[in-house]
Amino acid sequence: MRIKFHLCFLFVLANFSAKAQSVSSVFVHFGFDKWELTASSKATLDSLTDSLDVADRIELHGHCDAIGANAYNDQLSAKRVQAVNKYLLSIGWEQQDIKVVKAHGENIPLNKNLSPEERSLNRRVEIKIINASDNKGKSLTEKLADPTLTTGTNIVLRNINFVGGMHQFLPESKPMLDELLEAMNTYPKLVIRIEGHICCNEYPGDGMDLETGINNLSEARAKAIRNYLLSYGIAQERIFYKGFGHSAPLYPSPEKNRRRKKTKPQG
């Protein structure tokens, strides 16, 4: 399930300066001696996929904890990395854009494997993003500085990531949130609507928010962005939000809504 956020600028005042950054790695974790992806892991991969630009490339690196024989752990880490690779292909990635698919067994731990908590961190696949912060797409700052930008223009918010299936921000989302906050502070007449979209669902309606059990994930995540701005003193009447589920796809064809056919910002 992919989540995409648009900003619809109801009143536009542009030309501010801020620096956008992006995630360099994301981790998917596994249970002991497991290689199957959980629903939460799939949601993490969906959220990551939707946050990236079509120009971005990734590497996949599979790992294990230190329990078991080396040869067995080599095979287990291979199954884990292949599970992630297979799922990414199923949601629209092309194999040529997944530059590395490599299993490392237990050879590159994040820690000393001394406790169950440490070992759980080592049971992982690391997704490394290549050129995520250097892609050719314009930053939010550049888009707002465009003199042709008009009221009602939609701009895609990239690099705002959430815990899989939830509306909690991941730490790497903060630079983009802060960039948006700076725009709102610099131009007190700027009014926006945050629009949440889900692409390519096989069922009607919105996705389920695992925190609440309610099928309003796109709305809950759009509201989370609004609440972030409110927490820093932005006036409530300047921020609107709406979750569209998958009722307003960017393209009429489902295939064109997959990751490798990602849209440009709408005008």
3-state DSSP assignment of residue 221: helix
For residues 216 and 32, what is the distance between their CA atoms, to the nearest angstrom?
A: 32
**Does residue 105 sit within a domain?**
yes
Q: Are 92 and 261 a contacting pair, CB within 8 Å?
A: yes
Tally the C-alpha atoms within 13 A of residue 209's C-alpha that lie toward its C-beta: 18
Domain boundary among 71, 105, 130: 130
Lowest mean pLDDT among 18-32, 69-83, 116-130: 18-32
Do both 81 and 165 map to the same domain? no
Do both 246 and 122 map to the same domain? no
Do both 14 and 39 map to the same domain? no
Do both 116 and 247 map to the same domain? no
Q: Are 218 and 3 a contacting pair, CB within 8 Å?
A: yes
Q: What is the arithmetic mean of pLDDT over 58-72?
A: 97
Taking each helix axis as running N to C, give the angle between helix 70-90 and helix 39-51, from 0 to 180 degrees, rounded to the nearest 10: 60
Residue-wise pLDDT for 133-176, tens only, equals 444 456 566 666 666 666 776 676 767 777 878 888 888 888 88
For residues 202 and 195, what is the distance between their CA atoms, to the nearest angstrom?
A: 21
Q: What percent of the chain has pLDDT over 90?
A: 37
Do both 15 and 32 map to the same domain? no
pTM for the model = 0.51
Structural domains in the chain (count): 2
Domain boundary among 130, 161, 192: 130
Domain boundary among 130, 155, 174: 130
Residue-wise pLDDT for 192-238, tens only, equals 888 877 655 555 678 888 889 998 888 998 899 999 999 999 999 99
Task: Measure Cα distances from 120 to 60, 65, 142, 162, 173 in Å.
Answer: 18, 7, 41, 20, 24
Q: Are 128 and 22 a contacting pair, CB within 8 Å?
A: no
Task: Measure Cα distances from 201 to 3, 6, 75 in Å.
Answer: 11, 18, 33
φ/ψ of residue 262, rounded to 5: -65, 140
Do both 236 and 192 map to the same domain? yes
**Does residue 267 sit within a domain?**
no
**Does residue 57 sit within a domain?**
yes
**Does residue 266 sit within a domain?**
no
Query: Tokens standing for 188?
Result: 């007190």
For residues 83 and 123, what is the distance between their CA atoms, to the nearest angstrom?
A: 13
Buried b (16+ CB within 10 A) or exposed e, 221-254: bbbbbbebbeeeebeeebbebbbbbbeebbeeee
**Does residue 218 sit within a domain?**
yes
| Residue among 48, 78, 255 at smallest CA distance from 172 | 48
For residues 155 and 137, what is the distance between their CA atoms, to the nearest angstrom?
A: 12
Do both 145 and 44 map to the same domain? no
Residue 186 DSSP one-character state: H
Do both 109 and 176 map to the same domain? no
**Does residue 79 sit within a domain?**
yes
Find the CATH number of the domain harbouring 224: 3.30.1330.60
Q: Which domain holds residue 100?
A: 25-130
**Does residue 200 sit within a domain?**
yes
Do both 6 and 99 map to the same domain? no
φ/ψ of residue 56, rounded to 5: -75, 150
**pLDDT at residue 260 is higher than 80:** no
Do both 14 and 66 map to the same domain? no
Q: What is the CA radius of gyration of the chain?
A: 19
Q: Residue 77's pLDDT is what?
A: 98
Do both 95 and 8 map to the same domain? no
Do both 43 and 153 map to the same domain? no
